[in-house]
């Protein structure tokens, strides 16, 4: 029995399902266009210059999950406590498996979210990417999973990296170039001398809503090719962080923010392909 199967079985065994509250699994799949994501695999035709990339990390946090039922009503779907992947406030989606180029990651993956919601038929899903403000700015050393991972944490003030994708972009006539996507809150300030801020000028928590999603049938596809479709991963804006680390003055963030539905001074057009979409069918192989 795999680790994920074991914890899922434990969850179902310890949380009694009733007519009004039952565990529902929302499945996700990492893709690069029409190819499943794999650590160490090279993908071509990426971004505005058709670059090739090899990724070494792919994880993000989710909270505030909602389902839309057959009547069109939005239903709160509380996160089911499922250590080490999710507690009652936040869930970690983890596509890397600690192999090949992802050697700094973890062996276990978690391409799903388990929620507690009324039994019934659903036709849509919504969620917020990131960590809630109340949990985003604390002492990493005192945090329990899924908020205990140092590779997904910036600092007490800035908080967590809501989305982390690390990659190397390659081109035929030069060495591989590192390029990363680290999305989190910026412009966080607080009282003088305090470690934790009281507010952030840019929360940077994407609100995602997908219609036509049936958790019993469909998967949520997270597509790196779509996320990078308006970016040139062969270059980095001078005097800014490598790739995009969510800075408002970093033009490299423009296409990424547009793909996530976030505001940014350099955001590309509304026609920018979206990072998330609904995939039909099972959680295997290419998107349907």
Q: What is the pLDDT, as a whole number, of residue 21? A: 81
**Positions in the chain whose pLDDT score sits under 50:** 1-18, 285-288
246: its two tokens: 């969510």
pLDDT digits (tens, 9 = 90+) for 191-229: 887 888 999 999 999 999 999 999 999 999 999 999 999
CB atoms within 10 A of CB 253: 28
CB atoms within 10 A of CB 222: 26
Q: What is the pLDDT, as a whole number, of residue 173? A: 54
pLDDT digits (tens, 9 = 90+) for 72-94: 999 999 999 999 999 999 999 99
| Contacts of residue 226, Cβ cutoff 8 Å, sequence gap at least 6 | 33, 259, 273, 274, 275, 277
Q: What is the pLDDT, as a whole number, of residue 20? A: 77
SS3 of residue 217 by DSSP: coil
| Contacts of residue 56, Cβ cutoff 8 Å, sequence gap at least 6 | 39, 96, 101, 102, 103, 104, 105, 166, 167, 168
Q: Classify burial at 90, counting beta carbons within 10 Å of its beta carbon; exposed 0-12, middle 13-18, buried 19 or more.
A: buried
CB atoms within 10 A of CB 162: 27
Is the omega angle on the peptide bond into residue 146 within 30 degrees of 0, that is, cis? yes
């Amino acid at each position: 029995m795999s680790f994920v199967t074991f914890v899922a079985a434990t969850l179902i065994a310890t949380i009694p399902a009733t007519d009004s509250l039952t565990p529902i699994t929302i499945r996700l799949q990492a893709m690069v266009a029409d190819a499943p994501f794999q650590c160490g695999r090279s993908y071509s035709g990426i971004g505005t210059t058709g670059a090739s990339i090899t990724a070494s990390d792919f994880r993000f946090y989710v909270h505030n999950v909602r389902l839309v039922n057959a009547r069109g009503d939005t239903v709160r779907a509380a996160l089911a406590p499922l250590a080490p992947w999710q507690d009652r406030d936040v869930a970690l989606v983890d596509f890397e498996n600690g192999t090949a180029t992802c050697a700094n990651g973890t062996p276990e993956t978690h391409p799903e979210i388990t929620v507690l919601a009324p039994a019934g038929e659903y036709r849509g899903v919504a969620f917020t990417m990131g960590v809630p403000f109340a949990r985003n700015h604390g002492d990493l050393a005192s945090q329990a999973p899924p908020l205990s991972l140092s590779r997904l944490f910036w600092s007490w003030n800035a908080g967590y990296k809501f989305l982390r994708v690390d990659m190397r972009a390659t081109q035929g006539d030069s060495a591989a170039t590192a390029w990363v996507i680290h999305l989190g809150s910026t412009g966080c300030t607080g009282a003088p001398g305090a470690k934790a801020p009281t507010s952030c000028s840019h929360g940077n928590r994407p609100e995602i809503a997908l219609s036509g999603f049936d958790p019993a049938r469909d998967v949520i596809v997270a597509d790196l090719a779509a996320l990078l479709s308006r970016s040139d991963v062969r270059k980095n804006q001078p005097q800014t962080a490598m790739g995009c680390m969510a800075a408002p003055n970093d033009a490299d963030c423009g296409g990424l923010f547009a793909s996530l539905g976030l505001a940014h001074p350099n955001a590309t057009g509304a026609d920018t392909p979206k990072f998330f979409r609904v995939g039909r069918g099972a959680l295997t192989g290419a998107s349907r």
